[in-house]
Amino acid sequence: MVDEGNKGGGSDGLESDAAGCIYATDYEHNAVLRRKPDGSWETVVHDPRLLWPDTMSIATDGYLYVTANQLHRQARYHGGQDLRHKPYSLFRTRIDARPVELR
């Protein structure tokens, strides 16, 4: 185990690409971050519509796809009132990376 220090936000999803980068959602900042093989972090995308970014997938088209599940807006966190807005969203952002191919 290695302490990587404070990365500035909570994560609810991880993904990796063929170049060795790791992608982490940052639900506290409506963002997706990328950790490069050299250990540095950068913001891939930040958008107020990324309400609790969760599951991610890198596709062969060079895009990162990410869901925004609005978990923090569920009724159980707001006295029984559901504050989620439908339709739920799937976002994509170009990262020009290839997915890890499992064999």
pTM attached to this predicted model: 0.84
* Rounded-to-integer distance, Cα 27 and Cα 54, Å: 8
CB neighbours of 67 closer than 8 A, spacing ≥ 6? Answer: 53, 54, 55, 56, 88, 89, 90, 91
**What would the mean pLDDT of 8-16 be, rounded to a whole number?**
84
pLDDT top residue among 87 and 3: 87
How many domains would you assign to the chain? 1
Decide if pLDDT at 6 tops 80.
no
Instruction: Give the burial class of 40: count Cβ atoms within 10 A of its Cβ; 0-12 exposed, 13-18 middle, 19 or more buried.
Output: exposed
65: CATH: 2.40.10
Q: Has residue 94 been placed in a domain?
A: no
What was the pLDDT predicted at 73? 76
Percentage of residues in the chain having pLDDT higher than 70? 93
50: number of CA atoms within 13 Å, CB side?
A: 25
Here the tokens at position 96 are: 């020009």
Q: Is 1 among the domain residues? A: no
pLDDT at site 8: 65
